[in-house]
Structure 1
Amino acid sequence: MKIEPQNILIVRTDRIGDVVLSLPLARIIKQHYPNAQVTFLVRAYTKALVENNHFIDEVIILKEESSKILIAENVKQLKQKNFDTAIVVYPTFKIALIVYLSGIKYRVGSGYRLYSFLFNKKVYEHRKDAVKHELEYNLSLLSQLGINHIGGTNNVSFDLDVNKSSLKKVESLLSSLGINKEEKFVIVHPGSGGSAVDLPIEKFVELVKMLTDKKIKVFLTGSENEKEICNKLVLNELTFNLAGRLSLEELIALISKSFLLVANSTGPIHIAAALGKYTFGFYPKVKVCSAKRWGPYTEKKFIYEPEIECNDCTVEQCAELNCMNSINVSRVYNDIIKVLENLNGE
């Protein structure tokens, strides 16, 4: 039986990149059901990604206390909204239970979890097999609403908003650092929050040195916990460490002002792709965190993987063999220079 949804909840309560890769669902749903209400349930720290999106009618924040999900409080707030359909993009037992107890009639989710009995509209795909991109796995969930959208980098829109107030703050910050409005600068984000196997910091140092030798200004971004890592990349007056200094809204604004972003597999690389920026990403040859599944979803990307032979690699094996150290950052540098020259019309 085909669902005719009127009040849809999209649940994505994990990290920055995961939320970004779920944003296209809102527009696609609206294209098929223009009168439907679309609401996102997210964690507080990712709220900036879904605010002021023209295809998202409301944003609900997951109720937590000391990082513990409050089941009764979340059930109460969802019941008040009278959703008829929930798409649980990121399933956990607690989230699935909350959606079930909220009395939502149609509950779309994975059919391969022990708690999948809490869903009554199931999609049977093992994401760990990484046969397609994470965004395309997200799109597969829409099949339960009668929507068959195969994706493609030229066939989805992220509709990520740049907060005007945050943009003004970032422009003021750039001006105070001597960056004029038309000046090119590069963002390097060396951390990943443990979501993947990272390029060694020594390789980032090597790359930043080459860029600044070319008189390219480099902004270093990261969380408060990544200040120390970023400090290692402050080589001269052309490197600026903003780790821990920006809110998510301000990070989005900074990326919107940049020309390109260099990063491991982490949230900011997906923000950059969503904003149409060139992205340069470092990925291990590990299936579950490969570029095939987690790469930036754009044609404007450069992907670098270990240059050693590696079959059925695991995170542990990749770390033990120091596979990421085999990536040649001179090649990365040359690609960046080509992009910058093309952007400059040279």
Structure 2
Amino acid sequence: MNILVIRRDNIGDLICTLPMLRQIRLQYPQARLHVLVNSYNAPVLHGLDYIDQVHVYTKAKHREPGQSLPGVYWHKLMTFLRLRRARLDIAIAASGGFNKRAVAFARQAGARRIVSFAPDQGAVPAYLTDPVAPPPLHTHEAERMRLLLSTLGPLPAQLPPPRVQVMEDERQALLNRYPELNAGQPVIGCHLSARRPANRWTQAKWVALIHRLADRGFKVALFWSPGASDDPRHPGDDELAQAIVGATPAEAVIPVHTTHLRALMAGQACCQALVLSDGGHMHLAAAQGKPLVAFFGDTDSQRWHPVGTEYTLLQPPNGQVSEIDVDEVEQALVSLLDRTASPS
């Protein structure tokens, strides 16, 4: 049996799909499991040996400098020709609801059966051979993926936790650049960036938290999205990180400048716990089993909270992360560390 899972969204979406992928392998050990992803989220899958083949296409908005638009579309065409040659039995449009583009990809790949959530309204398209009833509004994304498996056989009561794989050479390469991460002092990761304005904590509060963590004997590994804030393609937080480093004790802060996803994952692997906002980086850390203090602004925390790890979720009633108090974060982190401490 040849099975294709299509996940064309962001990093967190793909991580919430990992339990489904692992369950397919457990349920169909002899099947050939293909996964179609985009170049932005593909690094998440590196090292996951239960996937037989990863097919990667590039979205036009993600093309690199010097990469032509015709070249992007040509590569995408070749990807779908390879998928058609695989003679797919089943394609799963792994989106949290009916996604017309993902279903179109399944059709272009030539799958005999197409699994997807049905549209919320209107008739089910005739080409959707295995429709699944739309889930309730606040259903977690990983649970939505479990429900899509209902067309493949008995529905498992629960799925394995999402897990990513950080290679030892990746971790060692990062430690070679930042040996302070392995100097014997406990390290707390703080990730400054958040794509949604409502999910952003303030510079002053990050500075205050870092001072308090230093007073408690922690090193702080500082992570952020690289780049200038006015970069039209990939706006980053270089200026914010520089300002925070300049306002905190040099001996307490390790500014970990990561330019690609795998380096960020290796940096997270060196942390005892992390403080960060909802986003792909949060799900990456959760998929390494790292304890988290997670900020949520106006996003649906029932649908997107971390899975597979211990966490404390902080979400103000007004949906603005900037309103979260430093005392609340410090207390949440201390309590989380006590809760997850290994018995002596």
Q: CA deviation at 1:93?
A: 3.1
Contact conserved, 2:311 with 2:336, CA < 8 A, in 1? no
Q: Which residue of 1 aligns with 2:229?
A: none
- The Cα offsets for residues 46-92 of structure 1, whole Å up to 9 and x where unpaired, read as 22211221221111102444547736444323212221111111364
Aligned match of 1:324 in 321, 326, 339?
321
Counterparts of 1:330 and 1:190, CA distance in 2: 18
Contact 2:185 2:218 in 1 (8 A): no
Q: Determine what percentage of the aligned residue pairs are the same residue.
A: 23
Deviations 1:30-50 (A, max 9, x none): 221111111211112322211
Indicate yes or no: 2:44 matched with 1:49: yes
Structure 2 distance, partners of 1:174, 1:8, is: 41
1:42–1:25 CA distance, 2 compared to 1 (3 A): same
Return the match for 1:172 from 168, 171, 176: 176
CA separation of 1:303 and 1:196: change in aligned 2, threshold 3 A? same
Pair 1:291–1:80, CA change in 2 (3 A): same
Length, aligned pairs only: 317
Counterpart residue identity of residue 336, structure 1: L
Q: Deviations over 1:144-194 (max 9, x none)?
A: 11141243xxx523241112321110121231xx34354311111121223
Give the counterpart of 1:275 among 270, 276, 288: 288
Structure 2 vs 1, CA of residues 283 and 30 (structure 1 numbering), >3 Å: closer, same or farther?
Answer: same
Structure 2: 5+ residue stretches without partners: 63-68, 227-235
Q: Per the alignment, do residues 246 and 144 of structure 1 end up closer, same or farther by CA in structure 2, a change over 3 Å counting? A: same
Q: Does the CA contact (< 8 Å) of 2:161 and 2:308 recur in 1?
A: no
Deviation at residue 94 of structure 1 after TM alignment: 3.2
Q: Which runs of 5+ in 1 are unaligned?
A: 1-5, 311-317
Alignment partner of 2:254 out of 226, 234, 240: 240
In the other structure, the counterpart of 2:129 is 120
* AA of the residue aligned to 1:228: E
Give 1:196 shift: 6.1
Residue 336 of structure 1 pairs with residue 343 of structure 2: no
So what's the TM-score if we normalise by structure 2?
Answer: 0.83
The residue aligned with 1:194 is 196
Q: Report the equivalent of 2:6.
A: 11
CA deviation after TM superposition for structure 1 residue 100, in Å: 0.8
Task: Map 1:1-346; keep pairs closer than 5 Å.
Answer: 6-67=1-62, 70=73, 72-90=77-95, 92-112=99-119, 117=125, 118-126=127-135, 129-130=137-138, 132-151=139-158, 156-175=160-179, 178-180=180-182, 182-194=184-196, 197-224=199-226, 225-234=236-245, 235-237=248-250, 238-243=252-257, 245-284=258-297, 286=298, 289-306=299-316, 308=317, 318=319, 323-340=320-337, 343=341
- Relative to structure 1, the CA distance from residue 181 to residue 241 in structure 2 (aligned partners, 3 Å threshold; closer, same or farther) is closer
TM-score (norm 1): 0.82
For residues 289-327 of structure 1, give each alpha carbon's deviation from its aligned partner in whole angstroms, at most 9, with x where no partner exists. 222111111351011111x4x6xxxxxxx4xxxx43332
Is contact 1:205–1:232 with CA below 8 Å preserved after alignment?
A: no
Cα gap change, 1:65 to 1:94, in 2 (>3 Å): same
SS at structure 1 position matched to 2:237: helix
- Give the direction of change, closer, same or farther, for the CA distance of 1:32–1:324 in structure 2 (3 Å limit): same
User: What corresponds to 1:314 in structure 2?
Assistant: none
Larger CA deviation: 296-305 vs 179-188: 179-188
Paired with 2:241 and 2:154, the residues of 1 have a C-alpha distance of: 44
Shift of residue 25, structure 1, vs aligned partner: 1.2
Residue 257 of structure 1, CA deviation: 1.6
**Is the CA contact (8 Å cut-off) linking 2:14 and 2:41 kept in structure 1?**
yes
Q: Cα distance, 1:141 vs. partner?
A: 0.6
Compared CA separation, residues 188 and 145, structure 1 to 2 (3 A): same
Residue type of the alignment partner of 1:301: Y
Q: Which amino acid aligns with 2:327?
A: S
| Residues 93 and 99 in structure 2, CA contact (< 8 A), matched pair in contact too | no
Post-superposition offset of 1:344? 7.3
Amino acid at match of 1:82: R
